Amino acid sequence: MKNIVVFLYLYMCCKNDGGVRGVSDEESLNYLRKYGYLEANSMGETSQISVSTYERSLRDFQRMVGIPVTSILDRNTQHAMKRPRCGVKDKMVSHGGLRRYAVQRSTWSIENLTFKIWRYPTGLTQDSVDKTIQKAFDLWSEYTDLTFKPTPSKANIDIAFLRNDHEDGYPFDGREGQLAHTFLPEYGGAIHFDISEDWTIDSRDGKNLLQVAAHEIGHALGLLHSEKCNSIMTPLYNDNLFDVKLYPDDIQRIQNLYGPKTKRSQPPIFPWFLNLPSENPCISKLHRTHFGFSNEIPAFYFNPCILKDLN
């Protein structure tokens, strides 16, 4: 039979690239199952699989994280599996066994959302965390009509820094593993960060809170992971990303869910007569006064000496 079930150990002895592996056979199986590339049996195990199934799962993972597609557990793949990452699955597996990428549509039905941070990390001030989380939300509101405001009471999106098994079914695994995970809107949109990580702000050390928060907020709004490596929604943490922003793929996908931004805040309107000089206006040159709703509207020029000449 073509799909003869084999032990992964035997398969790897024949198919690896000959290098020293940083990820064991069992670890690679667990990783691929954990993040949606392999289905577990009724006992939650993937101890034996077919060669074709394993190759397919590796190809899917390699495409997702942007490394050469080789169908084997080579050095690049092992390195990618060892990198810190988001705890949300990369692939969703339906009950019928059909696999699909980020096509699930789970959104909020309101535009004005609230959030609450009810447990903070150590090593950072609450004020700095508040500002960073708000900045991460603002990245998404820049391209949609969604708004995000903190609230001391019940919120739409709950945020907390937790450790290990925190009773949501998705325990953290300590430093340099899962950095955070988030529930889609239909499941409440809660965002959990691993408190054991070395969270930092405006620093090249530790784990950049803004980068991870922006990513997790994408999940809280309904986005799954992206195959685009320059997307904020790529599943692996990027140690070299210092200019945290949304990229074209992120903007297109969030606007597919919520539409483009149509509401813009307007600057205050100042009537021209408030700009009149208080002393001897006829001596001064033309006085520039803005009269309109934005800086794009041309300025009007007013010379009060004209009125005197008319008299």
Q: Per-residue pLDDT tens for 132-143?
A: 999 999 999 999
> Among this protein's residues, is 186 annotated catalytic?
no
Q: Is 173 annotated as a binding residue?
A: yes
Reported as a single tens digit per residue, the pLDDT across 69-90 is 999 999 999 999 999 999 999 9
Instruction: Give CA–CA dist 74/303, Å, rounded.
Output: 76
Instruction: Give CA–CA dist 232/117, Å, rounded.
Output: 22
3-state secondary structure 205-239: CCEEHHHHHHHHHHHHCCCCCCCCCCCCCCCECCC
pLDDT surpassing 60 at residue 120: yes
In sign, the C-alpha dihedral spanning 30, 35, 36, 40 is positive
Comparison of pLDDT for 308 and 225, the residue scoring more: 225
Comparison of pLDDT for 54 and 304, the residue scoring more: 54
pLDDT surpassing 70 at residue 309: no
Angle 87-24-212 from CA coordinates, rounded to 5°: 20
pLDDT at site 48? 72
Q: Is 290 annotated as a binding residue?
A: no
- Mean pLDDT computed over 201-224: 96
Q: Is 43 annotated as a binding residue?
A: no
From the list 39, 55, 176, 216, the catalytic residue is: 216
- Mean pLDDT computed over 175-192: 95
All structural domains of the chain, each given as residue ranges with its CATH number in brackets, are 5-82 (no CATH), 112-258 (3.40.390.10), 272-310 (no CATH)
pLDDT-derived band at 40 (thresholds 50, 70, 90) equals: low
pLDDT-derived band at 91 (thresholds 50, 70, 90) equals: confident
Mean pLDDT score of the chain = 80
Q: Is 79 annotated as a binding residue?
A: no
pLDDT surpassing 60 at residue 264: yes
Least confident of 178-182, 195-199, 303-307: 303-307
pLDDT-derived band at 242 (thresholds 50, 70, 90) equals: confident
Instruction: Give CA–CA dist 189/90, Å, rounded.
Output: 17
Least confident of 77-91, 176-190, 225-239, 256-270: 256-270
pLDDT at site 299? 41
pLDDT surpassing 80 at residue 109: yes
Instruction: Give CA–CA dist 216/286, Å, rounded.
Output: 53
Q: Is 233 annotated as a binding residue?
A: yes
Instruction: Give CA–CA dist 236/212, Å, rounded.
Output: 10
Q: If you ran DSSP here, which 8-state letter would residue 272 be given? A: G
Q: Is 287 annotated as a binding residue?
A: no
pLDDT surpassing 70 at residue 153: yes
pLDDT surpassing 90 at residue 1: no
pLDDT at site 41? 58
Residue 82 tokens read as 């060892």
Q: If you ran DSSP here, which 8-state letter would residue 266 be given? A: P
**DSSP conformation letters of 156-211:** SEEEEEE-S--SSS-----TTSEEEEE--GGGT--EEEETTS-EESS-SSSEEHHH
In sign, the C-alpha dihedral spanning 273, 275, 281, 286 is negative
